[in-house]
Amino acid sequence: MFLYDNLKAQIPLWRERAAKLVREHADMVIDTVKMSQIYGGMRGVRSLVTDISFVDPAEGIRLRGLTVPQTIDFLPTSDQGTMPYVGGLYYLLLTGEIPSKEQAEEIELEWCKRSDIPPYIFQMLRDIPRDTHPMVMFSQAVLALQPYSAFYKRYHEGMSKEDYWEPALEDALDLTAKLPGIAAYIYNLKYKEGQEPDCANLDYGANFAAMIGVEDQIGYADLARLYFIIHSDHELGNASAHTTHLVSSTLSDIFYAYSAGLNALAGPLHGLANQKGLDWLLGVRDKFGGVPTRNQLREYTWETLNAGQVIPGYGHAVLRVPDPRFMVQLRYAREHFPEDPLIKIAELVFDVVPDVLIEQGKAKNPAPNVDAISGALQYHYGIEGFDFYTVLFGVGRALGVTANYVWARALNQPLERPKSLTTPMLECLVNDTDCKE
Ligand code: HAX
């Protein structure tokens, strides 16, 4: 397999690069920690390492060095649409190399071979009360796959540290292969009947479009590919990636770890913001019976802020410019359905809300993030159940976090264990008194 051979060749070199850095510069100070950061959610503390992606505050995400537009332009395109194969993106994330079409298709084929879902998962999902949030169902289904973990099995049989990455890769491929089928099953159970999977003839995006029974399957397949690709990774410090990384650093396998990561994604300040973003846009549409005037939208924005709420889809912990993932979705919507009233509202919001947030003077970044428009695109294709949208995010995010997971095991990254202090200890430090820990 191209992927396996590529990783096997690369891993010793990366191990040596990491070992050399530690050997020769063990005491080098990379960053310092301020009081405001300790109390401020560790924003900006440079204390993690990943080569899969990097978020430049002034530019946005680079996936293995490629900007979002470059990623879309350079990856091989699916024969069934205009967007790249999701399998090609996975090859890029795992190896750092742009795949050939054959290499991308090999991943698609590998996913197809591994896509069967044990029947007890479906039984379990059917037994969960139907009004349960789909993220709960999704996270439980991922956790329930754990008995199939190759890593767990090999570890308990007695495996050398050198070999961790191999069953980690097996599990990563298995999990990412099964997620679209699980997500589609949840969708069909809660909202609408779709079709049987057909990965022998359809790629990752097209198969998902078929499984959820969307009307415009060709159009939606392209959006699904785009959506999974742009949601795949956003460095290691974001809550879903970091949770997965932390949990798997105990050497619990990716099923335990990504189930936990999904629970982090389910929060309204993270992945749930796409559902909240759409709610907010629909609130605007319903209040004004369509696209409002600029003044009406300004007032509506202030009403939300004055009620002590955030404007979903705006602001970011790292970014300081409009999120390129927002821009690429806006471009997609302008190209494919510019007359959609919700897209027109999203465009007006992009024009009006940043100025209001600047006027309010709180948000460090008044610009839109990925969630400011992603829900509106799903809505255009008739995807029902807004609470399902974070599940879609979870299918995409798995690509990045599992790539990180494979490399974390390949580089034998250790158990994560930062140090905490008490409030009196910090007060002692401030007063420069003799304090004991
Ligand atoms: N609307 C109103 N107020 C906002 C705001 C927004 N969109 N964004 C930030 N602020 C406020 C914060 O609530 C904070 O207020 P307090 O001082 O009263 O606590 C202040 O501005 C400073 O916050 P910040 O430093 O600019 O932002 P943070 O790094 O603390 O938080 C968030 C980043 C993304 C959580 C924040 O911008 C936010 O809540 N945005 C709305 C929710 C959202 O869109 N989340 C999705 C983010 C992308 C993502 O992870 N997707 O999964």
Sequence-separated (6 or more) residues with CB below 8 Å from residue 411: 11, 14, 15, 18
In a domain, 372, yes or no: yes
In a domain, 49, yes or no: no
In a domain, 433, yes or no: no
Averaged pLDDT for residues 344-366: 97
Averaged pLDDT for residues 11-39: 98
CATH of the domain at 366: 1.10.230.10
- DSSP class of 158: H
Tell me if residue 231 is catalytic. Answer: no
Domain count, the chain: 1
Please pick, among 242, 316, 323, 380, the residue that the annotation labels catalytic: 316
In a domain, 406, yes or no: no
Domain of 281? 273-380
With a cut of 60, say whether residue 271 has pLDDT above it: yes
pLDDT band at 80 (very low <50, low <70, confident <90, very high): confident
Q: Residue 385 has what pLDDT?
A: 87
With a cut of 80, say whether residue 65 has pLDDT above it: yes
Q: Is the CB of 362 under 6 A from ligand 1?
A: yes
Cα separation of 175 and 90, whole Å? 13
Q: Is the CB of 363 under 6 A from ligand 1?
A: yes
In a domain, 295, yes or no: yes
Cα separation of 317 and 275, whole Å? 19
Q: Residue 436 has what pLDDT?
A: 63
With a cut of 80, say whether residue 437 has pLDDT above it: no
In a domain, 115, yes or no: no
pLDDT band at 193 (very low <50, low <70, confident <90, very high): confident
Tell me if residue 222 is catalytic. Answer: no
Q: How close is the Cα of 105 to the center of ligand 1, in Å?
A: 39
Distances (CA, A) of 385 to 119, 161, 185: 24, 44, 14
Q: Are strands 60-63 and 53-56 parallel, antiparallel or unpaired?
A: antiparallel
Q: How close is the Cα of 313 to the center of ligand 1, in Å?
A: 9
Averaged pLDDT for residues 324-339: 96
Q: Hey, whose CA ends up nearest to atom 38 of ligand 1?
A: 315
Give the mean pLDDT of the chain. 96
Averaged pLDDT for residues 17-26: 98
Q: Is the CB of 310 under 6 A from ligand 1?
A: yes
